[in-house]
Structures are given as structure tokens and as C-alpha cells.
Amino acid sequence: MLVFYLEGIKGARRTSTPSPTVAAVAFVAQPVNKAYRFPAKTTVSKIPSLSRVGQPSSLVVEISGHDQLEIRVLDSKKNEIGTDIVEIEPGHMQINFTPAQVGDHEIDVRYGGVPVTGSPFTCRAYDPAKIRVGAIPKGLLDKPVYFTVDASEAGVGNLEVAVCDGRVPSMAHSLGHHKYDISFVPKENEDHTITVRFNNEPVPGSPFTCQLVATAQATATGAGIERIPVDQETEIHIQTDDLDASPEARVRDPQGNELPVNVTRSRDNETLHIATYVPKCVGNHVIDISLSGEPIAGSPFTAKAYDARKTTLVPPTNAVVGRPATFVIDAARSGAGNMEIIVSVDNRNVPNFVQTEGQARFKVSFTPQDAKDHTISVKFNGISVPGSPLICPVKPAGAIPDVVLPAATAVGTGTAVAAARHTPQHSAEQLPVKQTTTTVLQKTPEIKEKVEKTGLARELNSAQVGQKKGFTIDNINKSSDCNVVITG
């Protein structure tokens, strides 16, 4: 049985370590039956921390006196929902309400026009009917079976997935946004039951059944049902037991569009068929493979398409010996995969530290020890991203960093200077690092003449030692960059 937890929901946190053997998601709720006191007037108790959508929920308010009791319940969209007040005994009022949608509900309790202590209270509404379980494929003995569970719209709660009442170990891989890829390996040649519960309630369709195929009519292998690069032809090898068998394959992209698939018989093996297709976008592709109209074991398969070309590499600037240098990798549009980052100098690796900024964006830092060009190599699923490998010049310790000002058309020596030299591997999409022009401000007649044309002369005639000096550049062109190097 596998245990895992929903996170990213207001008020939720991880409460224990996952077990290797049911899948479960815990929540942090407000204490139940904790009393909130308003001096000498009201007591609010039995506050519900969780409430099922479509089912009544209630709290009890004990009052003393004759002031007016006001109750307002707002759903997650700040719409007021109806309440029913019943006096269950003298001075004890039961407030009933029924959540109609998932999300945090705000309960505002006022007595005599004054909010009671702790008000507004929060009740989190959940709905097991919002759990979506993907198609359960047929299984093979000792072969992994994969299916998905989508809990993104169900609210806060405890998600539990058990295979054969927990006797068969299962694993969960987070796909993000409270979606999970569940897998297990059948060890017995019998149908396996899969139970999915949310807050101890069965979700629609549960329990599910995974039919085991004792003797596989066909098996599918190859890169085409695993990770696949966008715009490159990929293959699926379909092995059958019958010489006359003709398997069929269908591929749908993340938008539900069906892609062209070509299935041919191998010249070297008459029972082997090769299906080829070309993914056109990043994301999960669903692959249905059938034989004589029946899905083969494992079908439908899920292939994860990725595109290393969509990874952006922003190089470091002003790298100096002994000081941390930082560059950024943005793989938000690249799909699922592994990132390989290597910083080296003279064929020696330099330690680097990766900080996750969320949404597949990473900040990488390293501290150079040599005033030499450092090589930065970034690969996504083994493919170099645009701009990699990148050559990062490193200045000696104590060097004064360049002062870089954005968005200006500079006039100067005309020397072209790049923020970082790089050797692109994909000509179709270059790293967005612009080459810039360096302006060196010195007291020479040539520079003085050019400075006067930019309007700088009236601001740079004099400066006081120890005081900050600023200047502006007229006729700014926002589409270009400008590096300004000040030397004394």
C-alpha cells in the first residue's frame, strides 16, 4: 500500500513519511470541537473542519443574552449560501448549511453585531466525485501497470489507492497539480482490484479491475511508448505470436488530435511490426495498440513528449574569481525529463548548486577559482539545450565588474562585446543573448565629440570625489542593449 500527500493547498502540509507499500493524501484542518469564547456572551463549538459537498454540515453556538445572532457562510467564490438555524435546547443554536462546491468556506459568526473570537472560521469542502481515474490497462505478470489519478478538483483531503486491499505494493509519481501516475507490478496470475478512496469515501467507479492476460497475444516495446523528442520520428516494436496478425496503433496528442501512424512488418522478423509516428508538441501522448480489435496488454500506453529546444539558458555576467556566478535555466515549456548541468574548467568539473524556483525554472550558481574561461554544459534528456555548451569568461579577483545598463543605443569605440560567448547547437532557436556595444568614457577628443552627440556632455563635465554621479542617454532604443564601462 502506497501513502502520499496532497500539497499546495492552503492549510495543507506533509505529516508523515511515505510508505513503500495504498496511495493516501493528508490534510491539516482546524481542531474539531475546540471552543471559541466570546466573553460572557457566546461559545462556538463543533466547528466542522471538513465538509462533503452536497451533504449538510453544522456548528453549535451557545448564546447568553438577548442580542441578535448573525451567521453568514461564504463559499470559495465569496457567494453567500443558505443557512438554517435550529434551537436544539435553550441558549444552544445549531447552524446548518450545505456546501455546493469544492473549496474553503468562510463562516462569519457575530453576536450583537460584533464578531465572536476566532470568527470567521474556515470549513474546507471536498468532493470525491471530482476524482478522475484514468483507464486501467490490461496487465502482464511481472510487468508494470500504469494508470493516472487526478485529484486536482476534489479539494483538500486524504487520497488512498490500494491494489488488492494493499497486498500488492504500489508506487505514485507526482505529475504536478495534484495529478499522480500510479504503478504496480502483478505477481499473481489473476485479476487485480484497485480501490480508490478520498477522505475514506470511494470515488466513482471504485473498485476498478485490472485484467491480467495469461498469455500475451502481443507486446509493445521501444522508445515510442516512453520519452519521445518532439519533431523526431519514433518507433514502437510490436511483437505478435501469430504470423497472420496485423496490429493497429493510434496516437493522440495532449490536445486530443490523432497523429499519423505507419505500421509495417519487419523484413527480418515476420512476427515483428514497427509503428512509427512523429510527435508535434510537448506533453503526454496516448497510444492505443490493438490486435483483432482487442487492446494488447498494457494498452493504452502513455509517451511523454519533450522538446529540449524550448529550454532557455540565461548565461552569467561579470564572473569573478572567488565570487559566486549565477545562470538561469527555464524548462517550463520543455516537458518531462532530466536536466544535466556541468560546469568545468581545464577539463575539471566545478561544483555547482541548483536552486529550484518553481515551474521548472532553476537558478544555478558556482564559484570560479581560476581566471579562465569556464564551460557550462546543459543537457535535457541527453540533448544539449540552445546555447550549450556556453563559454563563460572569468576575471581575476579584485577586477571591477562592468556596469551594464539596459535599453540604449550606445556610441563608443564600436567594439562588439558579448555578455557570454556560446556555441549554439540548434540553429533553429538561439539563446536570447544579444551582442552589445561597449561605451568607454575617457577624456579624449574623439570620445568627447561622440559623447556630446548623445547629450552626455552637459552631465559629465564634472564630478565630486566620493559622491554618486549619474547620467542619462538620450534617444534610447528599447530593442537594444548597452554596456557602459567606466574607467579612471
418 domain-assigned: yes
Same-domain status, 58 and 190: no
Percentage of the chain modeled with pLDDT above 90: 37
21-33 confidence digits (pLDDT tens): 333 333 333 333 4
Same domain, 433 and 363: yes
- Is 447's pLDDT higher than 60? no
**Residue 19 placed within a domain:** no
Q: Distance between CA atoms of 266 and 235, rounded to whole angstroms?
A: 12
In a shared domain, residues 456 and 473:
yes
pLDDT at 110: 85
Q: Do 405 and 461 have their domain in common?
A: yes
Q: pLDDT value at position 419?
A: 32
Residue 189 shares a structural domain with residue 290: no
SS3 (DSSP) at 185: coil
Domain count, the chain: 4
Q: Give the structural domain span for 115.
A: 36-126
* CATH code, domain with 122: 2.60.40.10
The residue-averaged pLDDT of 452-474 equals 55
Q: What percentage of the chain reaches a pLDDT higher than 70?
A: 72
Residue 139 sits in the same domain as residue 111:
no
162 and 281 inside one domain: no
CA dihedral 46, 50, 53, 58 (to 10 degrees): 10
- pLDDT band (50, 70, 90) for residue 113: confident
Measured from the Cβ of residue 57, the count of other Cβ atoms closer than 10 Å reads 19
Residue 155: name the closest of 59, 18, 49 by CA: 49
Cα angle 304-233-431, degrees, rounded to a multiple of 5: 70
Strand partners, 12: none
Say whether both 435 and 386 belong to one domain. yes
Cα 260 to Cα 228, 274, 278, 281, distances in angstroms: 16, 14, 8, 14
Q: Residue 168 falls within a domain, yes or no?
A: yes
pLDDT one-digit tens code per residue, 280-320: 999 999 999 988 777 888 888 999 999 999 999 999 988 99
pLDDT at 8: 38
Is the pLDDT at 7 greater than 90, yes or no? no
Same domain, 232 and 272: yes
Looking at the domain assignment, is residue 435 inside a domain?
yes
Q: Is residue 104 part of a domain?
A: yes
With b for 16 or more beta-carbon neighbours within 10 A and e for fewer, the 411-445 pattern comes to: bbbeeeeebbebebeeeebebebeebbbbebeeee
Cis check: omega of the bond before 295, within 30 degrees of 0: no
CB contact at 8 A, 408 and 477: yes
Burial class (CB in 10 A: 0-12, 13-18, 19+), 194: buried
Of residues 412 and 105, which shows the higher confidence score?
105
Mean pLDDT of 227-239: 94
pLDDT in tens, 162-180: 999 889 999 988 888 888 9
Q: What is the largest CA-CA distance in the chain?
A: 97
Helix (DSSP H) and strand (DSSP E) numbers for the chain: 1, 45
Confidence of residue 472 (pLDDT cuts 50, 70, 90): low
Structural domain ending residue among the three candidates 269, 285, 306: 306
Q: Report the length, in residues, of the chain.
A: 488
The band of 103, judged by pLDDT with boundaries at 50, 70 and 90, is confident
C-alpha dist (Å) from residue 63 to 69, 83, 85, 188: 8, 18, 13, 62
- Report the distance separating Cα 20 and Cα 392, nearest Å: 44
Phi, psi of 175 (to 5 degrees): -100, 0
Q: Average of pLDDT values for 132-154? A: 88
Shared domain for 359 and 458, answered yes or no, is yes
- DSSP code at position 17: P
Indicate the residue type of 85: I
Residues 329 and 246 in one domain: no
122 and 132 together in one domain: no
Question: Quick check: is 50 in a domain?
Answer: yes
The residues, any chain, with a CB within 8 Å of residue 420's CB and separated by 6 or more, are 315, 316, 317, 390, 391, 392, 393, 433
Query: With contact defined as beta carbons under 8 Å apart, do 313 and 386 qualify?
Result: yes
Read off the pLDDT of residues 311-345 as tens digits, 9 standing for 90 and up: 999 999 889 999 999 999 999 999 998 999 999 99
Query: Would 9 be classed as within a structural domain?
Result: no
This prediction's pTM: 0.46
Residue 1 lies in a domain: no
Which of 126, 151, 171 marks a domain boundary? 126
Q: How far is CA 411 from CA 227, 415, 437, 439, in A?
A: 49, 10, 8, 6
55-64, 235-244, 268-277: least confidently modelled range: 55-64
Domain boundary, last residue among 126, 150, 183 = 126
